[in-house]
A = this chain, B = another copy of it.
Amino acid sequence: MYDLLSNHIARHVTLSELDQQTFFAALKPVKLRRHQYLLQEGMVCRHDHFVIKGGVRQYEVDNKGHEKVIHFGFQDWWITDRYSWLTGSPSIYNIQALEDSELLQIDKDTLDQLFINIPRLERYFHIVLQHTFAYWQERILVLQKPAMERYLHFRKLYGHLEQRLSQQHIASYLGITRESLSRLRNQSAQRGS
């Protein structure tokens, strides 16, 4: 159950067996069924979550009632509303399971406590955040490009997830309507994939 996370950690830092056990002991396993929520808007997001199995989407409901997906979370990803987590303010996001999912969760206070005695653990989270950050930086750039480029970029990076996601979620992630995405897909199919 902790193997995935253990490997993920080992890819970035070396933790002693003891430190790793201390960390794992602080994690709480969470199971979600499809459509269940990890976070609902209005709640304060006090946990960070590592996805073991399944997948989730993080989205905002705008003032017209439209859902806007800003992020997905699949196996090997940490996911949280970093803003609410950091500031303690109520979240404007929902995080919902797209499939039956399994995650490990840890709350901020516990984690901050662990950082004091296990600096390497903070190093791990720092490195992970740097990677996530680099990903968001790229996402901003892509969101400024035309819809077709955004879609092709998505396929290049997350093509393997395309069947697991609905068109409307992909469209929302790309910042377009599901109708527009449908038309883009026709175009790109005609030109050969």
Q: Which A residues are within 8 Å of any B CB, using their own CB?
A: 60, 62, 68, 70, 81-83, 86-87, 115, 119, 122-123, 125-126, 129-134, 136-141, 143-145, 175
Contact = CB atoms under 8 A, between A and B. Distances in A.
A141 B60 contact: yes
21 contacts: A60-B141, A68-B141, A68-B144, A70-B144, A82-B130, A82-B133, A82-B137, A83-B137, A86-B130, A86-B134, A115-B123, A119-B122, A122-B122, A122-B123, A126-B126, A129-B129, A129-B133, A133-B133, A139-B140, A140-B143, A143-B144
Nearest to A120: B119
A137 B70 contact: yes
Contacts of A137: 70, 81-83, 136
Interface residues of chain A: helix, strand, loop or mixed (majority): helix
A183 B146 CA distance: 22
Contact of A70 (B131, B132, B141): B141
Given A70-B144, A82-B133, A139-B140, 18 more contacts: A60-B141, A62-B145, A68-B141, A70-B140, A70-B141, A81-B137, A82-B130, A83-B134, A86-B130, A87-B134, A122-B122, A125-B126, A126-B129, A129-B129, A129-B130, A133-B136, A140-B143, A144-B175
Contacts of A129: 126, 129-130, 133
A13 B22 CA distance: 24
Nearest to A145: B62
Nearest to A59: B141
A80 B186 CA distance: 39
A33 B134 CA distance: 28
A187 to B, nearest CB: 19
A101 B179 CA distance: 47
